[in-house]
Structure 1
């Protein structure tokens, strides 16, 4: 029950929701509470325009060479635009978060498996990005890793606690700061070589080791988890047009900008055996220039920029788990944030690439099944079943194909294969079982 309709008599004591605004964990966002187009653009644009995206761009260029990596970046981001845009549009129409929508597809109890998995993966992303913050600060300035990680984590919990308004505000600062500093890095590094040298850069030590399929998986998997739970964000949009524009600001615009900053810098410098997760990234490059004001700005930039992605991930995780546990987003943000800080202190961020591979296998089928349900099958808005079997079978089939592709056909895209197969399986199984049910029906 909504707190606005609960109880009578004495007013409830002031709490965070009264002060900061309701987050609608358990019901659709009413139109009166929806946010402006500018606010939604800031929420989405501030998510992927991050230093981790630049690191990913560097990895792609190191593994594929610049020109082939550029193709993977563009195609992968256009796929994300279609995928996230369609899921977001559905959420805007209903006003529901991911967990509420999933309960209609996987069942009133079954949704907890899909929502809990994605929320936990996003908590893992919070830990990864928080760990990267602490590691970069510690290695650059000789400070204690654990202490810097805790400082970062507590700051990011605070942003998330504010709610969707906090995501807007951090994007308002992070986006222009990244754009300006990214431009400085690109112009300065590109000035050390020629356009032709950048374009023809063949990869690490002149060898390309990453296939186009793997490259697409890396691009897609970077935000496939948050993209799948896009309903947590796009439910706040006032119109479908606003929802699509906000998504476009992230994919391809912000995500591609971030990847290009890292990719151009890497190709321009052509450092042998470069380590984007060490010092060979835009943060390390700014510090190497040894310009006082730029060094100070780089320090602030790191915390603000990664604070944007961390707060978004923690918001998704807290929204999902608050629905499952019948709790409040802000309470779960504090609890899960502390768990994430503890995990980050154990250097979990070091498993970044393995994490992307895992996401590419198990997450795309979930989103594709939601799309099939929303746009093709168009089932009713509610379900009385606690568990709907077919979506889980389709999910398992897609994930199984993803695992096969990952290990037996690495030249293909794991993320695309898993998602497409799950969608086809769900359609086939749905129509096949509907046909058998019709045959059994009395004349």
Structure 2
């Protein structure tokens, strides 16, 4: 298709839920990078960054944050290269690895999990507006939900735009918050590097694990975003804009808030800095409200987009219809108060999800040498690797508290898949072909 077709807005209505994004519909590096960079630049990551620095001190906290983000870059960057080269979204990637029917388990699981994160952002919107501005949390959450659903329904272009708005807005508001925090405590930034560890709840590797687990789900589903990149290299660069760049910045800003004494309760609330922006006039208060909606809205819209693309890949429905339907479900969950309990089990994502990415990556690397065994639409080797990886990560989680669960699970799944694929249940292949189907009989 010609550039004139794209400019006419035809591509704005097409999300390519059931087929790879064609080269003519790919987007610029800036646009795709804005989608990813705007996702982790959020208040929640500032909270976690503050918790890390509170428990590790500024220097060790910095290294924990950086190491976690480099691990994320290796993981998400590789999956993004695959997406940029193929144009396939996460459901299509999962089909190639887990089988036409087997993908329903993987895609359905992750596409449902991110609805939970969407609900969490709605609930967080309501409670944040209540605690800082005195708003009714129900109406604040509902306002946020309507805005976030509308952004998602507009598609990938809207995610790019909110990223371009939300990222600089986060940096500006964080800078203002740090200024007021320094002024309130009479400190200078030169002292932050000597900030010692004040808490002892989280060890170094546990902090690294927090960074990795924070994007275990949407990082695995990165293809929904980076399939729009012009090629694999552009997909990797777009992923790098988030990991390590944007995510590291967001975590470190929270760490700085704690180090300068700007956090009210760093042991519980980490580097939350919104309270530093209140009480300075109506203009800044208005900007703070806009900041909350744009910041949490970026995270919520990305999660809902992952959910809608995932479920559209399993059904005949289109992304926009599912965004409205799933958005309504997520809003109901949030407004009933269930959202406050979601985070407890979402913390286990670092155990369950990275082995899925290992199967996707190793399967792609081996695709030139082997065809996966598929029985009745299910790839048993892929599921075996996922199960063994998740089991290894669970053992590490409960019995090796100093380990990084995501890395253990990824490594175990990768070795299992590679070993089984190269030695059992595969056939030589000269080129990439569809999986070999064997009837259930």
Q: Give yes or no for TM over 0.5.
A: yes
Aligned residue in 2 for 1:182: 174
User: How many Å apart are 1:141 and its aligned residue?
Assistant: 1.9
**C-alpha distance in 1, partners of 2:137/2:303?**
22
Q: Is the 8 A contact 1:131 1:344 kept in 2?
A: yes
Q: Is the 8 A contact 2:17 2:319 kept in 1?
A: yes
**C-alpha distance in 2, partners of 1:121/1:417?**
21
Residues 94-109 of structure 1 mapped to structure 2, 5 A cutoff: 94-109=86-101
Summarize deviations over 1:228-278 as a string: whole Å, max 9, x none: 011111111112222122111111111111111111001211757436659
Say if 2:13 is the partner of 1:21. Answer: yes
Say if 2:194 is the partner of 1:200. Answer: yes
Aligned residue in 1 for 2:76: 84
Where does the alignment leave 5 or more consecutive residues of structure 2 unmatched? Answer: 2-8, 429-441
Residues 212 and 275 from structure 1, CA distance in 2 versus in 1: closer, same or farther, beyond 3 angstroms?
closer
Residues 225-240 of structure 1 mapped to structure 2, 5 A cutoff: 225-240=217-232
Aligned length: 418
**C-alpha distance in 2, partners of 1:382/1:20?**
38
Aligned residue in 1 for 2:50: 58
**C-alpha distance in 2, partners of 1:393/1:165?**
38
Q: Is the 8 A contact 1:160 1:312 kept in 2?
A: yes
Aligned residue in 1 for 2:300: 310
Residue aligned with 2:32, SS: helix
The equivalent position to 1:254 in structure 2, one of 246, 251, 257, is: 246
User: How many Å apart are 1:351 and its aligned residue?
Assistant: 4.1
User: How many Å apart are 1:294 and its aligned residue?
Assistant: 1.6
**C-alpha distance in 1, partners of 2:210/2:87?**
30
Aligned residue in 2 for 1:13: none
Residues 22-41 of structure 1 mapped to structure 2, 5 A cutoff: 22-41=14-33
Summarize deviations over 1:211-234 as a string: whole Å, max 9, x none: 122111110111111110111111
Aligned residue in 2 for 1:342: 332
TM-score, normalised on structure 1?
A: 0.89
RMSD over equivalenced CA pairs, Å: 2.4
TM-score, normalised on structure 2?
A: 0.89
Residue aligned with 1:25, SS: coil
**C-alpha distance in 2, partners of 1:353/1:65?**
25
**C-alpha distance in 1, partners of 2:312/2:179?**
45
**C-alpha distance in 2, partners of 1:135/1:197?**
33
Residue aligned with 1:269, SS: coil
User: How many Å apart are 1:144 and its aligned residue?
Assistant: 1.4
**C-alpha distance in 2, partners of 1:332/1:257?**
33
**C-alpha distance in 2, partners of 1:27/1:84?**
21
Where does the alignment leave 5 or more consecutive residues of structure 1 unmatched? Answer: 5-16, 438-443
User: How many Å apart are 1:290 and its aligned residue?
Assistant: 2.7
Aligned residue in 2 for 1:372: 362
Aligned residue in 1 for 2:151: 159
**C-alpha distance in 1, partners of 2:276/2:262?**
13
Q: Is the 8 A contact 2:46 2:255 kept in 1?
A: yes
The equivalent position to 2:353 in structure 1, one of 357, 360, 363, is: 363
Residues 318 and 272 from structure 1, CA distance in 2 versus in 1: closer, same or farther, beyond 3 angstroms?
closer
**C-alpha distance in 2, partners of 1:138/1:271?**
18
Residues 22 and 276 from structure 1, CA distance in 2 versus in 1: closer, same or farther, beyond 3 angstroms?
farther
**C-alpha distance in 2, partners of 1:172/1:60?**
28
Residue aligned with 1:176, SS: helix
Residues 313 and 132 from structure 1, CA distance in 2 versus in 1: closer, same or farther, beyond 3 angstroms?
same
Say if 2:293 is the partner of 1:324. Answer: no
Q: Is the 8 A contact 2:396 2:408 kept in 1?
A: yes
**C-alpha distance in 1, partners of 2:51/2:239?**
24
Say if 2:273 is the partner of 1:282. Answer: yes
